[in-house]
Amino acid sequence: MTSKMNSLGLAKPASATRVVAAMSGGVDSCVVAALLKRDGFDVVGVTLQLYDHGAAVRKKGACCAGQDIHDAKRVAEKLAIPHYVLNYEERFRASVMEDFAETYARGETPIPCVRCNERVKFGDLLALAQELGADALATGHYVKRIVGANGPELHRAADMSRDQSYFLFATTPAQLDYVRFPLGDMRKSEVRAMATELGLAVADKPDSQDICFVPQGRYDSVVEKLKPDAARAGEIVDLQGRVLGQHSGVIHFTIGQHKGLGLSGHAGPLFVLTLDAKNARVVVGPREALRTQSILLREVNWLAPANCVLMCAVKVRSTRPPVPARVTPSGDRSAMVELLSPEEAVAPGQACVFYEENGSRVLGGGWIARAEPARAAAA
């Protein structure tokens, strides 16, 4: 006889179900721990110290450092749950920060939050949760996990303004089987109201805004510190290779950038089209040359069958809505994406995430290796 499923979809009583709650110290993850405790689960709180505890203790808008660790401890004490703080600074530096610097040095635009989820939270932390004998790992991400005919599926959150599915495209089916997202059906306002109702000190705490290891949003200063040879001076050229100016390093530019180029006296506005890190060149041109039709992806992760051409909707930036596209899988975890309507400023190093047409399911995604200009722009 099968036991009744508990609220996490496990066939055992909540009191016999151990759950590791990933507590970053923000309101979302603290509410997750509190809800699990309220529902009778055996909750263990774990906080990862990812970045310079001392330097970040007064830094507003960061996460996984000084003040946040203190807040997570306070909440765990109130909930009367075990709480562990683990120093993952070296792992985080090697798997996320150095990757961030190397990606920028290649002339690409990285997304460190995806790497952190992929390699640290759903890699190292998940393994730790299993070592602790936990039946599941719960996080405060705004996404939904829905069990379909062929197993767990990843879906966009009910609150689309908070949806974080773009940043979780690299979650594997095996990880999805183990991880739970209790906030997927809630709105942020409801989460804060719940924190107030439960008496959590973090109820009114502001959301983190910055990447935790990037002070004041100065990406280039972090790259220069981690990879000093990345800031190599070079030329700014147009599409015909004519030199228009000089620059102090490709790490100071991003695809689609218009301001801060130091160029004037041209017939029309100029935008960064490509970054040639090998030759230390920044290529600029008119806005229409930013239009992209075809995208080559690497390190593709599939959360749905990938044995044929897929008609779906894709996001090429976290802040953009999904657009119709055709995705053709190929060997070596690569894929070609054909956008049915061109998108502007598609940047290598960013992610392209696949969504079900007219639905909420995440079908997979990959890292943008190359973006081909739209035919009209290339002509």
Catalytic residue at 113?
no
Q: Which residue has the tokens 């070079």?
A: 234
Q: What is the 3-state secondary structure (H, E, C) of the chain?
A: CCCCCCCCCCCCCHHHCEEEEECCCCHHHHHHHHHHHHCCCEEEEEEEECCCHHHHCCCCCCCCCHHHHHHHHHHHHHHCCCEEEEECHHHHHHHHHHHHHHHHHCCCCCCHHHHHHHHHHHHHHHHHHHHCCCCEEECCCCEEEEEECCEEEEEECCCCCCCCHHHHCCCCHHHHHHEECCCCCCCHHHHHHHHHHCCCCCCCCCCCCCCCCCHHHCHHHHHHHHCHHHCCCEEEECCCCCEEEEECCHHHCCCCCCCCCCCCCCCCCCEEEEEECCCCEEEEECHHHHEEEEEEEEEEEECCCCCCCEEEEEECCCCCCCEEEEEEEECCCEEEEEEEEEEECCCCCCEEEEECCCCCEEEEEEEEEEEEECHHHHC
**Candidates 212, 308, 312, 352; catalytic one:** 212
**Candidates 30, 63, 113, 116; catalytic one:** 116
Q: 179-180 and 234-237 as β-strands: parallel, antiparallel, unpaired?
A: unpaired
Amino acid in position 134: A
Catalytic residue at 64?
no
Q: 83-87 and 310-315 as β-strands: parallel, antiparallel, unpaired?
A: unpaired
Residues 317, 128: Cα–Cα separation, whole Å: 31
- Is residue 79 within 8 Å of 54, Cβ to Cβ? no
The residues annotated with a catalytic role in the active site are 116, 212
